């Protein structure tokens, strides 16, 4: 780190959980953020400000007026632009030293596997259940930490999947092998600050994982009820029949 970095990240460096070595880890870290909407906005902003060295932004949508109620990385000037370009511009204004890789399309299959293999952690900020399952599969198979969040109405949730932790369950374990959840804020609605609450927590969890200070961070679902401002945590275990992370029985 140079003198400018020492000044920029001085509040991090003062923390014993981070220090110089931890900030160096963040500066070398590569993170993929999939989804640049309500959740992805605060995640991208905070990770850029925190000094993550390389961020891959993945989203196939363009900015429209209905996004601006909650997607704070975008502005009226970004209407009709791709979300990845809009977000990339905002992040570059915060941290010019950040390397940004924009991917303006939805990726699946081998392309997703390739992306996952090139980063140190993946933050899932999508609003589609099938996409979340596909990202979970890629992260489990690629043995990369996955930090996943969701928000709808006045409710939010977060969980971390870390295939490098023994017996860590995955996202599929939480819902079962045949689950299909069809809900999105376009039809159900979402209060604007709830995505900021969960998005900020996603960014914090990502930093904890990258710094190696996350403890007991797998096998639990954290939920937030915005009506009562109450948090809850629910434990869950790896499913023996999970098609993604279960170890096949010996023949």
- The residues assigned a catalytic role are 185
Tell me the backbone φ, ψ of residue 56, rounded to 5 degrees: -95, 125
Alpha-carbon distance of 210 to 120, in angstroms, equals 8
Q: Which tokens is 84 given?
A: 């990845």
The residue ranges of DSSP E strands in the chain, in sequence order, are: 30-34, 54-58, 99-103, 121-124, 146-152, 155-161, 220-225, 230-235
Asked whether 15 and 25 are in contact (CB, 8 A), the reply is: no
Q: Which among 199, 238, 251, 178 is positioned nearest to 71, based on CA atoms? A: 199
Give the separation between CA 153 and CA 130, rounded to whole angstroms.
20
Q: How far apart are the first and last CA of the chain?
A: 53
Q: H helices within 32-108, ranges in order? A: 40-50, 83-94
Tokens of 210: 């990258």
């Amino acid at each position: 780190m140079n003198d400018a970095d020492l000044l920029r990240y001085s509040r991090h460096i003062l923390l014993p959980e981070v220090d110089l070595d931890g900030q160096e880890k963040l500066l070398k870290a590569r993170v993929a953020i999939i989804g640049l909407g309500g959740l992805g906005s605060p995640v991208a902003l905070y990770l850029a400000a925190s000094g993550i060295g390389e961020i891959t932004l993945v989203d196939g949508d363009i900015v429209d007026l209905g996004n601006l109620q909650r997607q704070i990385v975008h502005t009226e000037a970004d209407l009709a632009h791709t979300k990845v370009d809009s977000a990339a511009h905002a992040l570059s204004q915060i941290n010019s030293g950040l390397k940004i890789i924009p991917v303006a399309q939805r990726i699946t299959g081998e392309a997703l596997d390739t992306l996952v293999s090139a980063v140190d952690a993946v933050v899932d900020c999508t609003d589609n259940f099938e996409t979340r399952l596909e990202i979970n599969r890629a992260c489990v198979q690629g043995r990369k930490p996955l930090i996943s969040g969701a928000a709808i109405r006045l409710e939010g949730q977060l969980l971390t999947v870390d295939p490098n932790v023994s017996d860590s369950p995955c996202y599929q374990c939480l819902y079962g092998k045949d689950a299909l959840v069809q809900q999105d804020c376009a039809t159900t609605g979402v209060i604007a600050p709830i995505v900021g609450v969960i998005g900020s927590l996603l960014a914090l969890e990502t930093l904890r994982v990258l710094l190696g200070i996350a403890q007991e961070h797998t096998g639990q679902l954290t939920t937030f009820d915005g009506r009562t401002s109450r948090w809850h945590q629910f434990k869950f275990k790896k499913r023996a029949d999970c098609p993604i992370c279960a170890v096949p029985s010996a023949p």
